[in-house]
Chain A
C-alpha cells in the first residue's frame, strides 16, 4: 500500500447505527486530518492530530469521535448520525515542521450516506 488509504470506500448507515471509518498513511508523516466535503461547500476541517495529539476540534458534534492510536492510523467513530451528515469524508496526512510547509496528501475518501 502506498500513500493514504481509507476504508470503507462507501458506507450506508441508519441514524441509530454505530460505525467507524479507518485511515492509514504510509508516508511517514506526523500529522493526520479528517475533513468533511459536502456539495457546494468548502472542505471543512474536522480534526487534526499532530504527533498523535489532537490539536484541533472545529466545533464538530459529539456524534463524531476521532481516535489516533499511532502516527499511521486514524479513526472516525460515528454514532447517532443525522441525514445532513451524509458527505464525503476525507483523511489527509502531512509532515508538520511548524514552518508552514505542511503539504497535505489525501486518501480516496469514504462516501457516507445516512438514511
Chain B
C-alpha cells in the first residue's frame, strides 16, 4: 500500500501560469506534510511544510492541506522556467521515522 501518492505527470504549463501539484495520503494519523523540489541530478530541496488544515503561502508557492480528504496540494503562481523540476510530496506522523515520500511529479514550464 502506497502511503503517499502523486500523479507522476509529466505536467507542462506555460510561463506565467499557475502549476497545480496534487498528493493524497493513506495514513489518517499523518499530521506533517512537506513539498520538496528536486532538479535533475540534484538532491531534494525543502520548499514548503504544512501541518494544519488550510492554506499556507510563501512567495509564489501555496500549500494546501485537507485532512478530511487526505489531500495535499502545491500551487506555483507565475510559473518560471526555473521551476521546471520534479516535486516530491512527503508526509507522516509526528516523528521522522514515520515519514513517506511520493514518487514525484515532473513539472516543465514552457517559456
Contact = CB atoms under 8 A, between A and B. Distances in A.
A101 B49 contact: yes
Contacts of B46: 103-106
A50 B97 CA distance: 9
Nearest to B30: A100
Contact of A98 (B4, B34, B94): B94
Interface in A15-47: 31, 33, 40-43, 45
A104 B96 contact: yes
Contacts of B102: 42
B42 A50 contact: no
A107 B32 contact: no
B20 to A, nearest CB: 21
Interface of A, secondary structure class, is loop
B31 interface: yes
A109 interface: yes
> How big is the A interface, by class?
20 to 34
A103 B34 contact: yes
Contacts of B32: 100-102
Nearest to A93: B96
B63 interface: no
B96 A31 contact: yes
A106 B44 contact: yes
A96 interface: yes
B65 to A, nearest CB: 13
B93 interface: yes
B103 A55 contact: no
Contact of A100 (B43, B94, B104): B94
Nearest to B104: A42
Given A43-B88, A104-B46, 19 more contacts: A40-B103, A42-B4, A42-B101, A43-B101, A45-B97, A50-B95, A55-B97, A88-B43, A90-B44, A94-B96, A100-B94, A101-B32, A101-B51, A102-B96, A103-B34, A106-B36, A106-B45, A106-B46, A108-B42
